[in-house]
């Protein structure tokens, strides 16, 4: 699996707010929000449970990886998904170490581990709610 996932005992909108709070604690900003369920309704006229993709970035780490490998921008920003499935809300973050394995640049290993640790901290920050 390429993600770090947890179910949370909160409503969807509450989970979105809490994820954003936890991201800020780790110096991540939200670059974009893509409400997939709304797009499906607009473009396909189909209903789909709540599903949000957050494109997140920590400028410090983005700068470091882009200095090592310019083409890494293809994998930026990091994505976090928040979605409902049969009434349960899930939050999942990409695992940068898995993505960096595809790049095969050992200079990115340490940086991807640091970013992954922070993203896991964001997800783990939701567990007591």
* Domains detected in the chain: 3-124 (3.30.310.70)
For position 37, what pLDDT does the model report? 97
Q: Name the region of 42 (left: φ>0; alpha: ψ -120 to 50; beta: rest).
A: alpha
pLDDT 10s digits, 60-110 = 999 999 999 999 999 999 999 999 999 999 999 999 999 888 888 888 999
Instruction: Provide the mean pLDDT of the chain.
Output: 94
End-to-end CA distance of the chain: 25
Q: Are β-strands 78-85 and 29-35 bridged in parallel, bridged antiparallel, or unpaired?
A: unpaired
How many other C-beta atoms are found inside a 10 Å radius of the C-beta of residue 128? Answer: 7
Indicate the pLDDT class of residue 128, thresholds 50, 70 and 90.
low
The model's pTM = 0.92
């Amino acid at each position: 699996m390429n993600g770090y996932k947890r179910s949370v005992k909160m409503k969807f909108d509450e989970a979105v707010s809490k994820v954003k709070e936890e991201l800020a604690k780790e110096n991540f900003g939200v670059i974009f929000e893509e409400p997939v369920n709304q797009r499906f309704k607009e473009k396909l006229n189909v209903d789909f449970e709540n599903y949000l993709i957050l494109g997140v970035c920590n400028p410090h780490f983005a700068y470091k990886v882009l200095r090592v490998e310019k083409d890494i921008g293809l994998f930026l920003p990091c994505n976090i998904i928040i979605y409902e499935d049969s009434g349960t809300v899930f939050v999942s973050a990409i695992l940068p170490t898995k993505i960096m394995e595809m790049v095969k640049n050992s200079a990115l290993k340490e940086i991807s581990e640091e970013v992954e640790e922070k993203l896991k901290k964001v997800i783990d920050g939701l567990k007591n709610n």
